[in-house]
Amino acid sequence: MNFRLILLLLTGSQAGQAQTPTTGPEIAVVEFRSYTLKPGTRDGFHRLVLEYSLPMLQRWNITVLSYGPSLQEDSSYYLIRAYSGLEARQKAEDAFYGSEEWKKGPREAIVSKIMNYTTVILPADSILHLAEKISTMTNIGTHHADIAELSALNKKFIENFIQQDTVRHNAIIHPDFVCIQSDGSIETREEYMKRWASGYSKSGYTSFFYTDELIRIFGNTALVRSKTVYTKVVDGKTVHGNSVYTDTYVKEGGIWKCVQAQITPVK
């Protein structure tokens, strides 16, 4: 089992806390140790781990994946180690905890702060499956949030058109924006924004709304498609019509902006 893959999936942004050798052992089992510490000792315990335990574990070739204060209470702490198998784990820990370096070194200072601890050992494959599920759930959550944001931008896009609000609309239009009109002509951003200031009223619309919204996301690019339903007065006559538009959004710095719009009339 690849060390770096488990390290990345298991610790995520905490990977800086773990040992990161350029090459690592094959991992078969992962040990989770949860400590309950005596009240008020966790900061001191953490310093001892950093200054003594981790360097010693590294010298004894015991791989630490992650460690640190737990979230649930101020007396809890965790240590996650990896081994090539159960027998290898037992041998490594017996050797480490039975060594003179440990017993005559930081043992007393560290153990004196521990009330009790529990140990759970899991197959490395199960950790990978768990990490992949967490990653999938995180991606789903992000996807749903992006869908909601893009839907709100689509709504704002139409509202800006009806209200002829160039200030608010300018904020959601990408600097490289272009608009492909129904006749195939391509407007630059500057031309588009200039027309936007009076486009609704000059077109004679009396009502304008959208329906059939469909949003598709491809990484940091999204397509937002909707159908407009409108009524307008042309040469004294009331005209009802529809058009389909597709707006292309790009996400930069965590912000979605429309980089292209294309409008197709429904005939």
Which has more confidence, 127 or 163? 163
pLDDT digits (tens, 9 = 90+) for 89-108: 999 999 999 999 999 999 99
Provide the pLDDT for residue 22. Answer: 38
Average pLDDT over the chain reads 88
Taking 70 as the threshold, does the pLDDT of residue 259 lie above it?
yes
Q: Do the Cβ atoms of 20 and 5 come closer than 8 Å? A: no
User: 257 with 231: CB under 8 angstroms?
Assistant: no
Q: Are 222 and 256 in contact (CB under 8 A)?
A: yes
- Is residue 81 very low, low, confident or very high in pLDDT (cuts 50, 70, 90)? very high
Please state, in angstroms and as integers, the Cα–Cα distance from residue 116 to each residue in 50, 102, 139, following that order. 20, 19, 37
| Residue 141 reports pLDDT greater than 80 | no
pLDDT at 124: 85
Q: Which tens digits make up the pLDDT trace of 193-246? A: 999 899 899 989 999 999 999 999 998 999 999 999 999 998 889 999 999 999
CA distance 266 to 243: 5
pLDDT at position 241: 92
pLDDT score of 51:
94
Residue 4 clears pLDDT 50, i.e. is over it: no
Compute the distance between CA of residue 136 and CA of residue 139 in angstroms, rounded to an integer: 5
Q: Is the pLDDT of residue 78 over 90?
A: yes
